[in-house]
Each structure stands twice: as structure tokens, then as C-alpha cells.
Amino acid sequence: MEKESILIVEDDLQSLQAFEKILSTEGYETTAIDSSEEALKLIKKNEYNLVLSDIVMKGIDGLQILSETKKMNPETMVILITGYVTVETAIKALRDGAVDYILKPCKEDELKIRIKRALERQRLGKEHKQMEIALEESERKLNSIVSTVPDIIYRLDSTGKITFINVSVKKYGYDIEELIGTDFLDLVHPDDREKAAFRINERRTGDRSTKFFELRLLRKDKTAVPFEDKSIGIEDVPFFLIDAEGLYASVELKKKSFVGTQGIARDITERKKADKEIKELLEKESKSAREWQETFDSAHDIIILLSPDQRFIKINKTGYEALNKKPGEIIGKKCYEIVHGLDKPIDDCPCIKAIETKEGGVSEITEHGRNYLITASPVFEKNELKYFVHTVKDITERKHLEEQLQIRQRTPRWQSACPPEADSEKADSEKAD
């Protein structure tokens, strides 16, 4: 830590040496000089923490030393020393910036205390100034942020009157000046004011405070704006999501006094539009899904969606009725286990064919005296098999008709043209002859 510097100006050598000894022993960096003219030269060249100067000296006196020091280095502390002082001199010294004055002869302890107190005051002054600079810089940055964010940032007093609002409000036709001092509730859509009254003047803090409260804000032309409002300490406005929390003058629970609310109002107009469009789209999709399901279930053939490992993903009404099972007993189970009671696919499984050829597979099988035409159409995404569309069509009647037709095609025409009774009569006639 740097030593604090003190310039001692005294034309009495004995006093000068005594002051220098006392202050250097205290750890200060001292410069002692018996000429006020030379002292001014040093003050112009160097910056001292403190100047200890006699008032009455030859040539330039202590009051002139005080005046010149304050002109060049306003933060330098000046203590004046005198063997006698008038009220006028004391007043002038203090008015011109002296931090203190000491009467000769002064005691050593008193001198130490006065010097220490003056330097402490200087340190506090510097810290205060640094804090002010930091605060100004912080406010500058905050104002820069507040002026650029699209959200409305505002502050209300304890009665709900606007004390601050940022430039974003201009987007809705308002001037900042015309809103200061007005009731924030006047900006809220009339239909929302009753529910917003206590939210806007929110007194609660922490988890119990208002969060994500939605209402509508009026533009200056009185058209509504949906908003989402995040407030800290005051309240919110029209169609927003609002986070609001009380502001208090003291953090002590028993002594705190409510001073208002501050918050952020976020415009959610576009989000509300998007929500509406999404809702309409979901309704359309839901309707389409219902229509698809109705079509799916109305098919006379069995239609199944199978995973690549042949597990049921979806099956239509015809399918689970044919299997005499509920959908919950089928979905997720393997096809060959449920349908055929086997632990592996059947030999002529169309799904296996489709995997091998990457094309639709077709097979005919006979189960329980019935004939079925089975197809499996693979569905790929980026060359990856996603699922099969599996159909099962009962072709028993068709096969029976085909067999009858084949039998007739193999029978001679004269046999097919004569009924069995005619053939029998012809044979009896031949026997009689």
C-alpha cells in the first residue's frame, strides 16, 4: 500500500522540524519546506494527499496556499495552522476548502488525530466518487439495454402510477412524457381491468408473486395488444405474461414499506397468432386422423402396420375382430406369434421376401381351411426400413370358384352339355336293345 504524502509548509524551522518528525514517525511520506513560494512550485509539480500549512508567513500566506492548492488539486486536503485566529479567518479558510485548522501550540496527539481524520475523509471521498462513477457507468449500461430491448420496461409507485417507462412504448403510439404520472391500469383493456387490479399493484415477493399473468394492453388508438409481462415489484399490462413483485424500501421484514412495482411487458401478439394457427392445424390433423382411422377400420381386408422385426404397430378393426383379440393384446407383439402360434416367421412370409428384395412381397397361405392372399409392402426412409404395410385378404371363395372353373374346363363339352339324367337314360336304352 502506498504511503500517503503530506507537504508541510512552515516558515518557523523549529515547528517545521517538529511536525515532520511526528508525521514521518506515523508512516507518512513527508516533504517539509519553509518557503511558501517554493511550496507552490512543489504543489504544481506534485499531487499530495494533504498540505499542512501555517497561515501567517512571509510573502504568500496560508490562505493563498489553500486557494492555489484547491485550484490545481481539488481532492488534496488542506489543514491550516495559526497562532491566533479570528472568526473571519476561520470562516474564510473553511469556505475556501480547508478541511480543518489547528491552533498553535498544538499537542502531538491532537495533530495526529486531525491529520488522520482529514485523510480518512479524503479516502471516503475518493471511494464515494468511485462508487458514483461506477453507478453512473452501471446506469449508462442499463439505460443502453433498456432503450434497445423490444419489451416494455416500466416502474410504478405504490398507487400504481407510472414513474418510469422505456422507449418501447412508442411502438404502441404513446409518448413517454404523457404516460408518466398516469395510472397504469388505464392502459389495460377494459375487460381485463378487474382481474388485473391486484396483479398490477402486486405487493408479494418471491415465489408468491405474480408470474406469467396474461392480459391485453391498449394502443393509444384503443386497439388491444396481447402481451406477456414479466414484472419485478410493480405490475403489468394488457395481454401479456406478467411477472410482478413488490418493491420495498427496507429488507427488514418488520420495517419494510411498499414503494411500488417494476416489470417487463412482453408483446406476445405473434405468439398468440401462432398458437391459434397451431390449434387450427392440430384440429385439422385430428379430423384427418379420425377420417383416416374410419377409412382404415372400414376396410373389409385386414390391414396391419408392422415394425421391421414384425411387431404389430397398428391393426384395423377387421384384423383384431378376425383374430378375436383386443388391440391392447396385439400391439407390440410379433405377428407370427399371434397369427400362427410360431416362434419364427412362416416359410413363405412376404415380409421376409420384402426385406430380401426391398420390394413388396406376396404369398398365399391356408389357415384353418381358409385361403388368404398376403402382401407386405416395405416403407423406407433414407434407405432405412421403417415399417411394413401388411394386408391379408380372404380369397377362399375366389379359390373355390377358380377350382370349379378349372374342373369345368377339363370336362368334355358333350359331358358338360348333357345332364347326368340323360346319360343314365341312354345307357338303359342300350341295355334293353
Domain segments of the chain: what residues? 5-127, 149-267, 299-394, 399-432
Higher pLDDT, 327 or 118: 118
What is the per-residue pLDDT for 209? 77
Per mean pLDDT, which of 117-121, 141-145, 211-215 is the most reliable? 117-121
Fold (CATH) for 299-394: Beta-Lactamase (3.30.450)
Beta-bridge mates of residue 102? 81
Domains 149-267 and 299-394 share a fold: yes
H or E, element range at 137? helix 108-148
Segment 423-427 shows an average pLDDT of: 51
- Residue 327 and residue 120: Cα distance in Å, rounded? 86
Higher pLDDT, 201 or 3: 3
Fold (CATH) for 149-267: Beta-Lactamase (3.30.450)
Q: What is the pLDDT of residues 149-187, one digit of tens each?
A: 788 888 889 888 999 988 888 988 999 999 999 998 888
pTM: 0.45
Q: What is the pLDDT of residues 271-294, one digit of tens each?
A: 777 788 888 888 898 888 888 888
Q: What is the pLDDT of residues 311-360, one digit of tens each?
A: 999 999 998 888 898 888 999 999 889 888 898 988 888 888 888 888 88
Q: Taking the CA of residue 165 as centre, how many other CA atoms within 13 Å lie in the half-sphere pointing to its CB?
A: 28
Grid-cell match 420496461, residue found: 153
Flag whether pLDDT at 422 surpasses 80.
no
The answer regarding whether domain 5-127 maps to CATH 3.40.50.1170 reads no
Q: Are 354 and 376 in contact (CB under 8 A)?
A: yes
